[in-house]
Structure 1
């Protein structure tokens, strides 16, 4: 009896309600309406209106198909930024350093976090010239090689949630059928190669780091520049091969047994 009283001493009903919603939504596919949430938790729908509104505004839950609530990837993103990401960076560092040496190019590791592609590690080019992006930089999902890869190697449902999270913090974009066809092409080919939409003369080369389930947990990217004063430097075709080999090694360390194109 005393233990039960101690356990209830610091009750927080509102917090419990929010956690109940998050746990419920994490267990279903396709989301639930407010009425369905209330029914499953054996509560009145009115009890959840304000809590759902706050969870949506804070980015933990999103509305899909008009009136259905679905869990976003925010909790996943928060978890990623702790020990798993530190381990990923520790695995990636020697591989990225070797990639820079063999390709003569800088490279960076990018993950999806709360609506953006975020650079979590970068390796400078070993010689005079290279393009680097600062660790912690947030880049677009829609017009970068890293963003395309992170979207291409996710399930349609995850892709939909990632796009919804991204659009919450940016202006609305009209994503065309051609854009989604491009993602399918990236997935089929195994990597993205595109002219940079931010810097002239740079090509974004990006390939996925895959987890055990075959989904992209990160994108390994080279902002490729042609070194005109270095005729022995690897060309773009050989650089892509080096990039894919590095990503495949990192994917193996991350637990993937999915073969990658080379």
Structure 2
């Protein structure tokens, strides 16, 4: 069997896969030299491979041009096939179960080339509610989803995210000092709870979802609306706990753990 394996090896393909697997463990990205050193390859052969992967959209180059990280193309492809497609399929019933208990909608957002994109959503029960459609692009600094996705990244990653970000519809120009204050507060408490910067009467509740390497993979958000009629629904504090618990469940579903939670 070993002779057969050696006979049918594809060295170029293996080098490309080695790069993808390496970058998958370094969410902050790596330089070409760091990739070459980690894989014990020459910079020239790594350059050719990285250039091809960038051209095909599997790797993103940072704005400064000196670092490389995986794009969301693998995620996009996996939507058509397991395992990530199965993860979202498994997440949606859990999200719907929470919306039925909370009488609120919720959605999952991820970052793609600086855009904050809703990748899954569950509507609240009843005759009316506030829900975002899958595929919606929302703001980075004026939404709970965007802030949470930024808060649990390194300073360099936040710089890179801001450099790539294109303002969403209605999103005001970013105030970096104010944004940094928000991120520090979110990191200290582990989530975002903010009045909506888009709609009156809505409170954004958002918690991080972490991947296997401890990197923030997605954000679970609930645009909480308060009822003023006689119908009794869970309080905002109770809904916050529900979203918190669901985010932990989805982190486990991704095979991850929350490195910012005490005792983890």
Normalising to structure 1: TM-score of the pair?
A: 0.72
Query: What secondary structure, in the 3-state scheme, does the structure 2 residue paired with 1:223 have?
Result: strand
Name the CA shift for 1:172/1:125 in 2 (closer, same or farther; >3 Å).
Answer: closer
Whole-angstrom CA distance in 2 between matches of 1:157 and 1:97: 36
Q: 1:223 and 1:190, CA in 2 relative to 1: closer, same or farther beyond 3 A?
A: same
After TM superposition, give the deviation of residue 222 of structure 1 in Å: 0.7
1:257 CA displacement: 3.7
Q: Which residue of 2 is the match for residue 62 of structure 1?
A: 61
Structure 1 residue 175: deviation in Å?
4.4
CA distance in 1, matches of 2:231, 2:90: 32
Show the counterpart of 2:3: none
Question: Quick check: 1:248–1:260 contact (8 Å CA) kept in 2?
Answer: no
CA distance in 1, matches of 2:130, 2:74: 30
TM-score by length of 2: 0.71
- The answer to whether structure 1 residue 149 and structure 2 residue 148 are counterparts is yes
Deviation, structure 1 residue 184: 2.2
Q: Aligned residue for 1:159?
A: 158
Once the two structures are superposed, the pairs formed by residues 1-262 of structure 1 within 5 Å of their partners are 26=23, 31-32=31-32, 41=42, 55=54, 60-63=59-62, 68-71=66-69, 73-75=71-73, 77-78=75-76, 81=79, 83-167=82-166, 173-258=173-258, 260=261
- Structure with larger Rg: 1
Deviations 1:177-208 (A, max 9, x none): 33123112212211111111111111111111
The aligned residue for residue 4 of structure 1 is none
Unpaired runs of 5+ residues, structure 2, are: 1-7
CA contact (8 A) 1:59 1:72 kept: yes
What's the C-alpha RMSD, in Å, of the aligned pairs? 4.2
Aligned to 1:221, the other structure's residue is in SS state strand
CA distance in 2, matches of 1:195, 1:246: 21
Secondary structure, aligned partner of 2:201: coil
Q: CA separation in 1, counterparts of 2:59 and 2:168?
A: 14
For 1:3, the equivalent position in structure 2 comes to none
Residues 77-104 of structure 1 show CA distances to partners (whole Å, capped at 9, x for unaligned) of 5456453431221121121111101111
- Measure the CA separation in 1 of the matches of 2:62 and 2:216: 24
Residue aligned with 1:228, SS: coil
SS in 2 for 1:205: strand
Aligned residues: 244
Q: Supply the distance in 2 between the matched residues of 1:75 and 1:255 (Cα, whole angstroms).
A: 20
